[in-house]
Structure 1
Amino acid sequence: MSKLKAFLAKNTIKVADGLPVVHSTRAYNLGQLRQSNMLQVTECDVFKTEELNYFFVGRPAYKLDSDGQGSPWEYPCCFIFDIKVLSDIRRIFPFDSGAFAGGRYPSYIQRMPLEEFTAETSTETPGKIIGAFFGSPWNYFRSKPVNEDDFISEHNLGAFDAEVRGLHRLSGDSGSDKFDDRRMTIEIQNGSPIDLVADNPLAVIAPSEYFDDADFRKQVTETWGAEPISYPVHTLSVQGAYSSIYDRVLDFYQRNGLLP
């Protein structure tokens, strides 16, 4: 059993309310998605023998490697789902496993084995992680962890709980741009495609030009049953778009009572 699994099994863990999950991709891929109505699994860079879909709990934390301004198809788009559509969960990590595998986290946690941070593959697990490390979904969304001394005391942690204490330190560590909001955004790996017709997304966020296409907008609202949410790109760099996306995700959650 991993150190994180053992920790989350403690009876001191308070389970927080859950949040939706977010899948992010390049807007260019909307062309294929509108044809297939399927969010396909793809070969994983970290777990190389598997094909997976990646989701982050609550936050649109996946980042595209692109600088400067781009064309609309180079910008990110996001699909927001109820976590219940994930019927084939393979792994849950408390952070971006790709960033960990790429050595982008600080040494106090990077030197530990990735396997110690696997969690139970249950839809209840994110609520346990949020409750333990952040106290509430709102604090999790803002990356505001619970006080370190209170965390250690409440869960009776000592020197041999380095992995759990390292995670808590990581959750509030904003000392480097190398580990941004992905540093403690819960990652869920799902092993099956998502049917966008049967397992309707709650919302689709994309550059505004895509929703200027009446046929695509109709497909999002009527075929996929999702709310279309646009953001402008004419004044934004690709990296700068994430602030606009975060604002729209937060607004969607608050309007729909999804951020307790």
Structure 2
Amino acid sequence: MDGPNLVRRGAAAVLAAAICGGLSTLAPSAGRVEFAVAQRNGPSPSEAPEPARKPPPDCTRAKCVALTFDDGPAASTGELLDILAARRVKATFFLIGKNVAEYPELVRREHEAGHEIADHSYSHANLGRASKKKIVSELTRTQDAIRQASGVTPTMLRPPYGSTSRRLSEITREMGLAQVLWTVDPQDWDSRDTEDVERRVLAAAKPGYIVLMHDIHRTTVKAVPKIIDRLAAEGYVFVTVSELFGRRLTPGKEYVQLNSGEPQGLP
């Protein structure tokens, strides 16, 4: 009886070896199938590369215009950010420090959306007529408020009322702030009329110009869609102030518009 048992045990061993061998030959094939599926489907979302940011245009060649908004943030700023996002337009916001303290979440949203953030004093003070102590206080408090809200330290100032002075130029140079004024002013703070704002901006805009508006006025915010759409139809490209000049601006210097890549100082 030992003979047949030995034969049976030997046959079983051969069969087991054959099965194991078959599995070992299948395993690499399964791995190749999984790899092929992974290649076909591409990397997982967490591994997918981020899309490259489109470089800003050369504004000495393109029809660039910089839309800028003063005195915010305010309740109407959120609506403006929605409008800009829908049209993929970047703008520059000159912020009032006390409003930054009231609406820090809007400042963060401006920064996260890729807009440029700048200083417009803490209380909309007339810096051109202010003492050195007043100027330093207004600018420092605003810089601190913006930095606390967004993590950004502005490198540009728009003096309220466009009021500047030799003293302000010296202080802004020391503080690393360029002075940015404007070329187009629809006086939206006065008319509070949406169609009037549209008409004035569209009539005055030219390549290299800086447009001044106020996002604290809903009538102005409502004018922005038509302004963007009409100018875009005419071939204009919308840029931030820094992109307009193609470089970081010189602290203390005054900028009004782009002219062959060079800043235009006030008379």
User: Normalising by the residue count of structure 2, what TM-score does the alignment of the two structures yield?
Assistant: 0.26
Q: Give the greater-gyration-radius structure (CA).
A: 2
**Larger RCO, structure (CA 8 Å, separation 6 or more):** 1
> Which of the pair is proportionally richer in helix?
2
User: Normalising by the residue count of structure 1, what TM-score does the alignment of the two structures yield?
Assistant: 0.26
